[in-house]
Amino acid sequence: MKSLGERAVTVLGNHDLHLVCVAEGAEKSRKRDTLDDVLAAPDLEELTQWIRHRPLMHVENGFALVHAGLIPEWTVKKALSLAGEVESALRARNYRKFLERMYGDEPARWDDSLEGWDRLRVITNAMTRLRVLHPDGSMALGYKGEPGEASTGLTPWFDAPKGKRRDHVVVCGHWSALGLAIRDDLLSLDSGCVWGRSLSAVRLEDREVFSVACPAPAGRAA
């Protein structure tokens, strides 16, 4: 990933942040983690520092790149500014304080008056974990199924009414159960490589999709 990041723009996702938290002792490893090789690497400190300095969001030529999603009330300009707040916290000398307070599902919805760790947590959750919203606009961060699978009125973040990001195409991933979603306003590219399906990329100029098959990891059925 580090070598790729020296040749291309990469943005932070939930697993990147989890790796940093585990390496820094701010979070315990989970049962299904596969981080042992990375955590034992001789250049672990250099790697985690590099990860902490990656952007949370990137905007260029009408495209907005983010790992998971954006809250509908945000314009792309506002979202980019908010991403900068989290980036500053991750790069600060006291970055461990943020890592220790980053986890959690609350607050579940955005409010311009939010401050401190709550504000940073909402921004981080939206950009690295968001898939669907409750009818009241709050984030349903525990949901991982397919759109329409739940009967509770959950709405994909990109279909929420009154979205303010319409002047940009959002490029994202994260939602493996959704699969590829190629629309005028959205390029959602997680096609389930982790589950043994495929790894996909899209050429922005003409929206052509390129996919390669992925083997199912040991212990995970495709």
Residues 6+ apart with CB under 8 A from 18: 27, 30, 33
pLDDT in tens, 81-125: 999 999 999 999 999 999 999 999 999 999 999 999 999 999 999
The confidence score (pLDDT) of residue 81 equals: 98
pLDDT in tens, 112-163: 999 999 999 999 999 999 999 999 999 999 998 887 675 678 999 999 987 7
Mean pLDDT of 186-199: 93
Tokens for 213, please give them.
Answer: 């098959």
Average pLDDT over all residues of the chain:
92
- 82 near 75, Cβ under 8 Å? no
For domain 2-190, give its CATH number from 3.40.50.1370, 3.60.21.10, 3.30.70.270, 2.40.110.10.
Answer: 3.60.21.10
User: What residue ranges do the domains of the chain occupy?
Assistant: 2-190
Mean pLDDT of 169-182: 95
pLDDT in tens, 14-40: 999 999 999 999 999 888 888 999 999
The confidence score (pLDDT) of residue 145 equals: 86
Predicted TM-score (pTM) of this structure? 0.92
